[in-house]
Structure 1
Amino acid sequence: MNSNISIIGVPMDLGADRRGVDMGPSAIRYAGVVERLEKIGYTVHDEGDIVVRRPKQNTTAGTNLKYLDEIARVNRELCDAVSGEMKKGHFPLVIGGDHSIAIGTIAGVLQHRPKTGVIWYDAHGDMNTAETSPSGNIHGMSLAVSLGYGHESLTSIGGADANLDPEKTVLIGARALDPGEKEFIQKLGVKVFTMHEIDRMGMARVMEEALKIVTNGTDGVHLSLDLDGLDPHDCPGVGTPVIGGISYRESHLAMEILAEANVLTSAEFVEVNPILDQMNQTARVAVALMGSVFGEKLL
C-alpha cells in the first residue's frame, strides 16, 4: 500500500441536517489517527479541513434537496483536493463529516482511477434520489450520485462521465433500505450483503466474495465506511443508528482481509457524531479500524 497518506477533513453536517457530525474530523484526530498510522510506518500528511459554510436557508429553489448549493460547492472542492493528493502519489484518506462527502471523494478518485471498485460499508443504501428520498437529506443519496443518478449539480462533479460501475460496487451491512432504494438497487444490479448474509455466511466469506466483485477488471478499490454500519453498541456516536449491525470484531476482520488483499487505493470514514457519542468511543473505533485496514498487526 502507498506509504504516503494524505488526511483531508470535511466537517460537513448539511447532508445529514443534524448538528454534531461536523465535529467528526476533530474527534477522529483527537482519537489519534495521525499517531496510529505513523506508528505502523506511514508518512502522514494532514491537509487540514475543507471549509463548510452553513447557509441561512436549507432549501434551493426548484428542488427538495436540503443545502444543495453548499453541498455541491464543498464536494467540488473535495474532488479537487482528493485528485490533487493522488496526483502527488499519495493515498487520500477523507474523514467526515456526513456521508454526502463521498460524492466529492469518489469523483476525485475517478480522475485517476476511472475503473475504481467500491466497498460501501453501511447500514443504509444511500441510493435515494430527489424522487425517492423521504427526507431530502443528501447523505442518503451519495452512492446514487456516484453511480450517476441525481441532481445535475452533484452528478456533474468531476465530470459527467465520472461514475462508478454498479457491477463493481458492493454494499456491506445493509439493514435499513427505503422502498425506492430497494427497487433502484435491483434495477442497477448492485451487490448487497445484508446482515442476513453476514450472519449466515460469516464476514470472512462475505469479504472474499466482495473482493472478487470490486477487483474484477478494476484499477483500484475505494472503501467508504459509515460508522453506522457497526452496531450502535460499539458505535453509539452516529446520527442514524440501526440496531442489529456488524460487530466490532467482525469489522476488524473485514478491514484485515481488505489489508491482506493489498488493493485499497483510497478511503473515507464518515458519520462520527461526538455529540451523540460516549467518551469519543465511535471516533476511537474509527481509528482502530483504520489501523487494521492499513495493515496493523498484533504480532
Structure 2
Amino acid sequence: MAVHLVGMPIFYGSDRFGANFGPDKFREMDILSALKELGYDVKDLGDIEVADVSEQDKYKYHEKMKYYDAIIDANTRLAFKVYSSIARGHFPVTLGGDHSLGMGSIAGVSKHVKNLGVIWIDAHGDINTEETTFTGNVHGMPLAASMGFGPDKLVNLFEHRVKVKDENVVLIAARDLDDGELELIRNSNIKVFTMDMVKDLGLERVIEESMEYLKERVDAIHVSFDIDSVDSIYVPGTGTPVGDGLTADQARRLLQAFAASGMMSSLDFVELNPVLDRNDITADICKELLVGFFESLNISVKDQLMLG
C-alpha cells in the first residue's frame, strides 16, 4: 500500500483567494519526506486541474452558486483520481484547497467503499444547499451534496447516486451553523457533536461515541478535516476562522484516534490558506497534525476492502 497525495488547488468554493496555494505549501514543507521517514511508500500524484475563471464570471453558470461549473469539473476529476487510488489498494489523501473538494473525494472513495462512513471535523456544517446558502459559497455545501441534499449536479457528481447515508455521518466541532443547516440536522440522522458538546462530554468520550456509532454501521471511514475546526487564535491562515474551537492538541488527538481505529480508508486535509497565514503558524500546525495522523495510522481495514 502506498499513501497517495492529491493536490486540489481550488479556492472557488470559499471565494477567498489563497486556499489554492495549500497543496504547494505542504510540498514546500516537504510533507513527502516526513511521511517517508515514518516508513510509508508515498507518492505525490500532483494537482487536479482547476479551470481558470474570472471573478466577473463566477455566477455565469448558476445564479446562486459561485464558480459552479468549475467546481463540478474539478471535483469530477478529483473523484476519478481518488477512486483510481483506493481501487488499486492505496490510501488517498486530498490536500486542499477549500472544502468544496469534499464532494469529489467522497464520491471517489464511495465508489469503492459502498457502505462508507464519514467523519467531518469542521467549525461549520457544510450542509447548506442552493436554497439555504447566504453566501453562494459551495464550500458550505459538500457534505449536504454527498448525502443527497442540493442541486442534481452536485448530488450526482461522478455517479448518479447518494454517496453517503446521512446516518453514516458524524460531524465534530461545529459551532457556526446556519438556520438551514440546523433545520437539515433536525430532519436527518446525522450524528453531531457541537463544540459545546465536546466541552461538556470531553474529547475522549466524543471519540469513543463516534467510533462506537460508526463501527457497527459502515465498512470504512473517510475523515474530512478542516483546519478551521481549530480555534482561530491558533490558526490565522484559514479563510473562515471561528473562535472557541479545538486546541491544536485536541485536533491531534482526534485525528490520531481515528487513524488508530483500523477503519480508515482515506483523508481530506483542507482550508490551509498560506496568503492569510502569519509566519507559517497555521502551516506548521497542519504539518504536525498530518504527520501525527500517519504516526498512528492502522490500516487493518485494508484486508476486507482489498486496500493493499
Q: Within 1, Cα distance between the matches of 2:180 and 2:162?
A: 24
Matched, 1:53 2:46: no
Q: Is the 8 A contact 2:120 2:172 kept in 1?
A: yes
**Is the 1:173–1:229 Cα contact (8 Å) retained in structure 2?**
yes
Deviations along 1:171-193, one digit per CA (max 9) or x if unpaired, are 10000000000000111121111
**SS in structure 1 of the partner of residue 94 of structure 2:** strand
After superposing the two structures, state which structure 1 stretch, 55-64 or 239-248, moved more. 55-64
Displacement after TM superposition at 1:165 (Å): 1.1
Determine whether 1:157 maps to 2:154: no
CA contact (8 A) 1:27 1:280 kept: no
Query: Aligned AA for 1:47?
Result: L
**Structure 1 counterpart of 2:138, which letter?**
I
Q: 1:52 to 1:61 in 2, by over 3 A?
A: closer
8 Å Cα contact 2:257/2:296 also seen in 1: no
Deviation at 1:272, TM superposition (A): 0.4
CA distance in 1, matches of 2:60, 2:217: 39
Partner of 2:243: 243
**Aligned residue type for 1:93:** V
Q: In 2 relative to 1, CA 59–44 (structure 1 residues): closer, same or farther, beyond 3 Å?
A: same
Q: Quickly say closer, same or farther: Cα 1:89–1:224, change in 2 above 3 A.
A: same
Any conservation in 2 of the 1:22–1:96 contact (CA below 8 Å)?
Answer: yes
TM-score, with length taken from structure 2: 0.93
Give a deviation string over 1:152-182, Cα, whole Å, max 9, x none: 1111113122421111100100000000000
Gaps of 5+ in 2: 298-308
Question: In the alignment, what sits opposite 1:11?
Answer: 9
> Aligned residues: percent identity?
38
Which segments of 5 or more consecutive residues in structure 1 lack a partner in the other structure?
none
Matching of residues 57-206 of structure 1 within 5 Å: 57-206=57-206
Task: Report the CA distance between 1:79 and its aligned residue.
Answer: 0.5
Aligned residues: 295
Deviations 1:105-130 (A, max 9, x none): 00000110011101100000000000
CA distance in 1, matches of 2:218, 2:271: 27
Q: Which amino acid aligns with 1:45?
A: K
Asked whether the 8 Å contact 1:114–1:162 carries over to 2, the reply is no
Residues 276-287 of structure 1: matches in 2 within 5 Å?
A: 276-287=276-287
| CA RMSD, Structure 1 to Structure 2 (Å) | 1.3
Counterpart residue identity of residue 52, structure 1: V
**2:26 aligned residue (28, 35, 38):** 28
Report the CA distance between 1:61 and its aligned residue.
Answer: 4.4
- Secondary structure of the 1:111 match is helix
Measured in 1, the distance between the counterparts of 2:61 and 2:242 equals 32
Deviations 1:29-61 (A, max 9, x none): 222321121111110010010111221300134
Q: Is the 8 A contact 1:168 1:216 kept in 2?
A: no
3-state SS of 1:275 partner? coil
Mean alpha-carbon deviation: is it higher for 30-39 or for 229-238? 30-39
Cα displacement (A) at 1:62 = 5.0
For 1:61 and 1:165, the matched residues in 2 are separated by 28
3-state secondary structure, aligned to 2:242 = coil
Corresponding residue for residue 301 of structure 2:
none
Alignment check: 8 A CA contact 2:123 2:228 kept: yes
8 Å CA contact 1:111, 1:162 repeated in 2: no
- Could you tell which deviates more after superposition, 227-236 or 56-65? 56-65
Alpha-carbon distance in structure 2 between the residues aligned to 1:169 and 1:293? 20
Q: Structure 1 segments of 4 or more deviating over 6 A?
A: none
8 Å Cα contact 2:10-2:98 kept in structure 1:
yes
Single out whichever of 72-81 and 212-221 deviates more from structure 2: 212-221
Distance 1:158 1:54 in 2: 21
C-alpha displacement at 1:287, in angstroms? Answer: 1.9
